[in-house]
């Protein structure tokens, strides 16, 4: 439970700083693997039984201004 709270708080902090985060809970979280972790320029992913958390940099989109 402590790990889940830590992951959730970390995800919220990253989301507030310009990143996107996704947390999946339950059996759908372990569709492809049961345990795993990865990190790179495209983001961070951690998978444990029944929990999958992903954090990635937010993409910036340019908005057009009216003249």
pTM score of the predicted model = 0.55
Q: Give pLDDT, residue 37.
A: 87
Question: What DSSP state is assigned to residue 35?
Answer: S
- pLDDT tens across 3-62, in order? 777 777 776 665 566 777 788 888 888 888 888 888 888 888 888 888 888 888 877 666
Task: Return d(Cα 58, Cα 23) in angstroms, integer.
Answer: 16
C-alpha distances out from residue 61 to 25, 58, 64, Å: 30, 10, 10
Strand order in the sheet with 43-48: 19-25, 51-57, 43-48, 36-40
- Reported as type and span, the H/E element at residue 45 is strand 43-48
And the tokens for 39?
A: 């990190």
Q: Give pLDDT, residue 8.
A: 73
Q: Give pLDDT, residue 61.
A: 66
Q: Give pLDDT, residue 67.
A: 67
């Amino acid at each position: 439970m402590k790990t889940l709270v830590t992951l959730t708080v970390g995800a919220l902090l990253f989301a507030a700083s310009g990143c996107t985060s996704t947390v999946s809970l339950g059996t759908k979280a372990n569709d492809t693997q049961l345990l795993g972790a990865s990190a790179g320029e495209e983001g961070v992913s951690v998978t444990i039984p029944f929990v999958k958390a992903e954090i990635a940099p937010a993409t910036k989109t340019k908005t057009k201004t009216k003249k």
